[in-house]
Chains A and B, each alone.
Chain A
């Protein structure tokens, strides 16, 4: 069996590479058991499968595992701190009770995390633009927007 080494959440993992076109999504979910990353559409339309590749948001349903190379992959399971403490985005999502069904929220949180890493103080327009690739069928956008702002504020506090 051909295999590949990928760095996921800070750990190097050996994964099956017999089909290099296998979307990263299914490697994460089926092979590595990281089921927090979700399948919604498979065609890069919904964002449920969003992960970070070197900190940038990527739709893992449409990204081949062979494309990861030396980059680092971060999934929702990799956001919490070493003692398990929630990161500011996760904490804001819990406190503001953002989720309804919750199915889209891993992807929303990853997109928000990517935004805040590049823009610590986004305005509404920047939030809307960064989150445009993530659908929420339950319509929690009002709270997602609030969640991004709350996380930004608590990150700022953490920095000062």
Chain B
């Protein structure tokens, strides 16, 4: 077996996580996405029409109306299909709402079900990059409008009136002139016989006519959740199922040479135990020892008694302390220039004030609350999988690579995910379950422990930024240089490991130079909620405040000045920062938070803005700090422009959650490595924020007419700099390290 390869670790994923925004020349425009999706949808509508011709007459006469993969109406009711994985971002509710709006279905009449995983019908199905809303906005509206047009057509025929005299509302077609009303469910059978209209010919509603979108709609799974029904991957049970655990080398890259398998197999409740060699891809199937037992507990108990001899010749020796020392020795040097606009050296030369700061942040873990798991069953050459994944289709590809089973023989059932945050863009747990059932010949539920989860995450990489900046005699920011020392997995830049054209303040400050140096790293690093932005936001929005302070100017005034004239940073590209939208949210957050008002001693407001995932978000944190560096975040005011809001309840929930996640992470979360091993193993050493430290969160959405964009991520990046800027204003102490517990702060 050769050394691990990291092929595909970030290249493919960058496309869906929105990181392309930050990588030179990779700007994703909404318009572009809509077009691509539109073509897929048009093809799909044609397919639907063909299907209705091939149906036996009797079946066609009884309905259902099924013009596309998203709508199914029959005499019993209206079913809408949710195509993407639900990981807590709310898409199982918000995506069908978009269909229901154009369909004019009353939300109470709608039943939502998770769609099958089927690329031919649904195109890409994934949860990542806050892309569900922007990528599906137009196709889903067209899907709803298509069904509506067919219902109207059927009603026109039944009533003998022209379609133009008909309107729709609350799951009915209405003929105003005669006061007649027909229910969708009663029309479905006839509507199924109508020609499927060309999606491009449909007129979609103007945003002012929305009846459902923008309202507060509660999650479609809420009731099942509060009853404790089986929704998640971990809840799956199939006939004859055994319970599996899988022990990998504590340092990634190590291989299992031998283990006390006989002893393990003799333990009570243990069914089987064996070594798997893995397939050499670090994201698929790593080497390890599988134990299969009669219950999860019997498996966990046996794993504790497992003694493995590992070959660590090629295993990771990653050391955080060594990386810190290496970065320290490199930060004064020049790195590879990745962005070089204007003349930074000249700007520094002629500066009135020059400021420098060394910013660092630790690695962090995703720590989604549901530990990885997958249930898999292999029989007669076919593999069936139930998995909580963010990328079902890629998961099947990975399983095919790891097991040699042809993808056509794999069926995947998408399960609700107990959190994602980017971790479940990768499907190593799915590969393990598949390989174990393939070898063992019984269906298995593979269960990772929390310890497995923390030891085998794909971490958000730590990083180091040596910054220099300048302001001129008028206090204007003139120059900005960042030497970013980051990491590479097998020569591939890690997620969040590239300063590109789209990173603040490029395009906003006249002279900007970004330089990079990458340190080699074996532990896998990948997308973590708002990749890149979640750390760059802290660095650049804190440093901008440093420059404002050096110039003796108000932070708000400097930030607005930096945005300058209203424009898209890349002309006509609505996937890029728009300075007017940026300025608007900054002003709104400042106004709502009472920026500039007098604050008691030891208490201050801090401001930050960040643009990511096509969302413009500003936050103001109201923070007090006592003499023991204990902080209290009283309130965070959030202002966001993400276009029209689809589901107000879900949108606010994402904003509140992003604030809490941001605070949790900046306060005390850190993963460190020595001798290739992760030093933290469970929540006792990885202290997620608890309820008592939760601030009030005041959320404001700007009513704008742009295409709507996603909210799973963009509210996170401004939180840490807003809080750190407030701490500076309250105490005069500048924080340049995350988590801030490293500098003695507690919450």
CB contacts (< 8 Å) of B269 on chain A: these are 18-19
Tell me the smallest distance from the CB of B453 to a CB of chain A, in Å.
9
Given contact pairs A94-B223, A103-B419, A37 touches B228 in the complex (Cβ within 8 A): yes
B243 near A101 with CB under 8 A, answer no
Q: Is the CB of A101 within 8 A of B416?
A: yes
Query: Which residues in window 53-107 of A have CB below 8 A to B?
Result: 75-77, 79-80, 86, 90, 93-97, 99-106
B367: CB under 8 A from chain A? yes
Interface residues in B212-229 by Cβ distance below 8 A to A read 216, 218-219, 221-223, 225-229
A20-76 residues at the B interface, CB under 8 angstroms: 22-23, 26, 29-31, 33-43, 45-46, 48, 75-76
A and B contact pairs by CB, cutoff 8 A, 20 listed: A19-B268, A35-B228, A35-B234, A39-B296, A41-B683, A45-B684, A94-B218, A97-B219, A97-B222, A100-B657, A101-B87, A101-B417, A102-B225, A103-B370, A104-B369, A132-B690, A138-B657, A139-B661, A140-B653, A145-B694
Q: Which of A40, A94, A104, A106 contacts B371 (CB 8 A)?
A: A40
Residues of A within 8 A of B297 (CB): 19, 22-23, 26, 30
Return B221 CB to nearest CB of chain A, in Å: 7
Indicate if the CB atoms of A134 and B691 lie closer than 8 Å.
yes
**In the complex, are the beta carbons of B88 and A102 less than 8 A apart?**
yes
With A43-B682, A86-B226, A136-B369 known, 18 other A-B pairs at CB within 8 A are: A18-B268, A19-B268, A19-B269, A30-B243, A42-B449, A42-B682, A97-B653, A99-B221, A99-B225, A101-B86, A103-B370, A103-B419, A106-B228, A132-B691, A138-B657, A139-B660, A139-B694, A140-B657
Take A35-B228, A77-B227, A142-B656 as given contacts and tell me if A93 and B419 are in contact as well, using a CB distance cutoff of 8 Å.
Answer: no
CB of A137 within 8 A of chain B?
A: yes
Closest 9 CB pairs of A and B: A36-B228, A139-B660, A101-B88, A103-B418, A76-B228, A100-B88, A139-B657, A45-B683, A141-B694
Which residue of B222, B228, B421, B650 has the most chain A CB atoms within 10 A of its CB atom?
Answer: B228
User: Complex Cα distance A77/B230, Å?
Assistant: 11
B653 contacts A26, CB within 8 Å? no
Please state if A102 and B221 are interface contacts (CB–CB under 8 Å): yes
Q: Check if A135 is an interface residue, CB within 8 A of chain B.
A: yes
Please tell me if B397 contacts chain A, counting CB pairs below 8 Å: no
8 Å CB interface, B71-129 against A? 86-90
Tell yes or no: B470 within 8 A of A by CB.
no
Q: Is B688 an interface residue (CB 8 A)?
A: yes
- A114 interface residue, CB < 8 Å from B? no
Whether B218 contacts A97 by the Cβ 8 Å rule is yes
Q: A103-B232, A132-B691 are in contact. Are A137 and B367 (CB under 8 A)?
A: yes
Whether the pair B219, A99 counts as a contact (CB closer than 8 A) is yes
- Nearest chain-B residue to A108 (Cβ)? B691
Q: How many residues of B contact A (CB 8 A)?
A: 67
- Determine whether A123 belongs to the interface, using a CB cutoff of 8 Å to chain B: no
Q: Is B295 an interface residue (CB 8 A)?
A: yes
Contact status of A131 and B691, CB under 8 A, knowing A76-B228, A97-B650, A100-B88: yes
Contact yes or no, A45 B682, CB < 8 A: yes
Interface size class of A (residues with CB under 8 A): 35 or more
Chain A residues 142-160 with CB under 8 Å of chain B are: 142-145
Bound-complex Cα distance A140 to B232 (A): 18
Contacts of A94 in B (CB 8 A): 218, 222-223, 226
Partner of B661, one of A23, A40, A138: A138
A38 to chain B, nearest CB (A): 7
Is there an interface contact between B369 and A103, defined as CB atoms closer than 8 Å? yes
Complex Cα gap A139–B659 (Å):
8
Question: Could you list which residues of chain A lie within 8 angstroms of chain B, going by C-beta atoms?
Answer: 18-19, 22-23, 26, 29-31, 33-43, 45-46, 48, 75-77, 79-80, 86, 90, 93-97, 99-106, 109, 127-129, 131-132, 134-145
Q: List the A side residues contacting B219 at CB < 8 Å.
A: 97, 99, 102
Say yes or no: A30 contacts B223, CB within 8 Å: no
0/1 string, B294-305, CB within 8 A of A gives 1: 011110110000
Residues of chain B within 8 A of A143, CB atoms compared: 653, 656
Interface presence of B130 (CB below 8 A): no
Cα A80 to Cα B228 with chains together (Å) = 10
Could you tell me the distance in whole angstroms from the C-beta of B259 to the nearest C-beta in chain A? 22
**Which residues on B sit within 8 Å (CB–CB) of A142?**
656, 660, 694, 696-697
Q: Is the CB of B295 within 8 A of A30?
A: yes
B227 near A26 (CB under 8 angstroms)? no
- Is there contact, CB below 8 Å, between A137 and B688? yes
Which residues of B have CB within 8 Å of A38? 232, 234, 369-370, 418
Residue numbers in A under 8 Å from B664 (CB-CB): 139
Q: Is the CB of A102 within 8 A of B228?
A: no
In the assembled complex, the CB of B646 is this many whole angstroms from the nearest CB of chain A, namely: 14
Q: Are B301 and A19 in contact (CB under 8 A)?
A: yes
Once bound together, how far apart are the Cα atoms of A38 and B691, in whole Å?
Answer: 19
Query: Chain A residues near B234 (CB, 8 Å)?
Result: 35, 38-39
> CA separation between A48 and B657, bound complex, in Å?
18
Determine how close the nearest CB of chain B comes to the CB of A128; give it in whole angstroms: 4
Beta-carbon contact of A86 and B660 below 8 Å: no
Give the number of residue pairs across the A-B interface with Cβ within 8 Å: 191
A99 → B minimal CB distance (Å): 5
How distant is A80 from chain B, measured CB to nearest CB, in Å? 6
A26 to B694, CA, bound (A): 32
Q: B residues within 8 A CB of A134?
A: 691
Which of A19, A100, A137, A144 touches B691 (beta carbons < 8 Å)?
A144
Residues of chain A within 8 A of B684, CB atoms compared: 43, 45
Cβ–Cβ < 8 Å partners of B298 in chain A = 19
In the complex, which residues of chain A have a beta carbon less than 8 angstroms from the beta carbon of B222? 93-94, 97, 99, 102
B712 nearest in chain A by CB position? A100
Please tell me if the beta carbons of B223 and A139 are within 8 angstroms of each other in the complex: no
Which of B218, B229, B301 has the most chain A CB within a 10 Å cutoff?
B218
B190 to chain A, nearest CB (A): 36
**In the complex, are the beta carbons of B370 and A40 less than 8 A apart?**
yes
In chain B, positions 269-322 with a C-beta closer than 8 Å to chain A are 269, 295-298, 300-301
CB distance from A18 to the nearest CB of B (A): 6
Contact with A along B432-449 (1 / 0, CB 8 A): 000000000000000101
Q: For A105, what are the chain B residues with a Cβ–Cβ distance below 8 Å?
A: 225-226
Query: Which chain B residue has the least Cβ–Cβ distance from A30?
Result: B295
B679 at the interface (CB under 8 A from A): no
Interface residues of B in 389-412 (CB under 8 A from A): none
Determine which of B450, B661, B692, B694 lies in contact with A41 in the assembled complex, contact meaning CB atoms within 8 Å: B450
Is the C-beta of B649 less than 8 angstroms from some C-beta in chain A? yes
Residue pair B228, A100 in contact (C-beta under 8 Å): no
Q: Are A139 and B656 in contact (CB under 8 A)?
A: yes
List chain A residues, Cβ under 8 A from B653.
97, 100, 140, 143
- Whether, in the assembled complex, B573 has its beta carbon less than 8 Å from a beta carbon of chain A, the answer is no
A160 to B369, CA, bound (A): 39
| B168 interface residue per 8 A CB criterion | no
Asked whether B534 is an interface residue with its Cβ less than 8 Å from the other chain, the reply is no
Neighbouring B residues of A43 by C-beta, 8 Å: 450, 682-684
Q: Does B368 contact A (CB under 8 A)?
A: yes
**Provided the pairs A94-B223, A103-B370 are in contact, do residues A128 and B230 lie with their beta carbons within 8 angstroms?**
no
Query: Which of A37, A43, A75, A129 has most B Cβ within 10 Å?
Result: A43
Q: Do B228 and A75 have beta carbons less than 8 Å apart?
A: yes
Interchain nearest-CB distance for B77 vs A (Å): 20
Least CB distance, B67 to chain A, in whole angstroms: 30
- Asked if residues B419 and A101 are in contact (CB atoms below 8 Å), the reply is yes
Considering residues A95, A102, A144, which has the most beta carbons from chain B within 10 angstroms of its beta carbon? A102
The distance in angstroms between the C-alpha atoms of A149 and B229, with both chains bound, is: 24
Pick from A104, A142, A145 the residue with the most CB of B within 10 Å: A142
Distance between Cα atoms of A26 and B301 in the complex (Å): 12
Q: Which of A23, A26, A96, A137 counts the most B-chain CB atoms under 10 A from its CB?
A: A137
A40 to B659, CA, bound (A): 22
- B296 partner residues in chain A, CB cutoff 8 A: 26, 29-30, 39
Contact (Cβ within 8 A) A128 B228: no
Kindly state the separation between the CA atoms of A140 and B237 in the bound complex, as whole angstroms.
28
B133 at the interface (CB under 8 A from A): no
Flag if A46 contacts B683 (CB, 8 Å): yes
